[in-house]
Chain A
């Protein structure tokens, strides 16, 4: 069974940093590209970042480019999102999702940016 479990969220002050993790199981993690997608409270879905299976290709939404860094450790079956210079508008539920149609999603981890 495919499972994606996010962690690392919490309350953080504006301008500070936070690192999210997504641990994958039930499939060969190193074979798939991965995404981070977020959803602000009461709002729609926003694609945030993508990383290819071997980390050769990385793309970001304009809203986070230069502040967020997506990475992965295939030996640990883990996807990461390093978030810096956080803003109130980054407050959201962050999901990791497997590429290939976004067929599988985690349950999400909440990030709240507030003073």
Chain B
């Protein structure tokens, strides 16, 4: 089974900061990786699919990159509404979520 490891588990940043979240796969998943945002009390929302494709309606400050085993979600300028937990998800072989990164305001 493919394991997904996200780091850090908790990230504190200020409004306007450039924020980078990491996701590592235990084996090559090519680009079969999505990112989801989950705000408190809500269902997860798709942000990025196939590593770097922005879901319709998602602000352009969100971007994704990577391939193989190392992936990154970047928020170019953090906004208050971005406070949430972010999950990566691989679908190359089976389906696996990472443990999540909780993003809070400093």
Partner of A35, one of B43, B95, B98, B99: B95
User: Cβ of A46: which chain B residues have Cβ within 8 Å of it?
Assistant: 97
Give CA–CA (A42, B46) in the complex, Å.
20
Residues of B with Cβ closer than 8 Å to A?
1, 34, 36, 38, 43-46, 49-50, 55, 85, 87, 89, 94-100
Q: Max chain A CB contacts within 10 Å: which of B43, B55, B98, B99?
A: B43
A11 at the interface (CB under 8 A from B): no
Kindly provide the distance from the CB of A13 to the nearest chain B CB, expressed in whole angstroms. Answer: 27
For the complex, count residues of A whose C-beta is within 8 A of B: 17
A9 at the interface (CB under 8 A from B): no
Partner of A101, one of B34, B96, B99: B34
Contact with B along A79-114 (1 / 0, CB 8 A): 000000000000000010000011101111000000
User: Cβ of A107: which chain B residues have Cβ within 8 Å of it?
Assistant: 43
Partner of B96, one of A47, A59, A95: A47
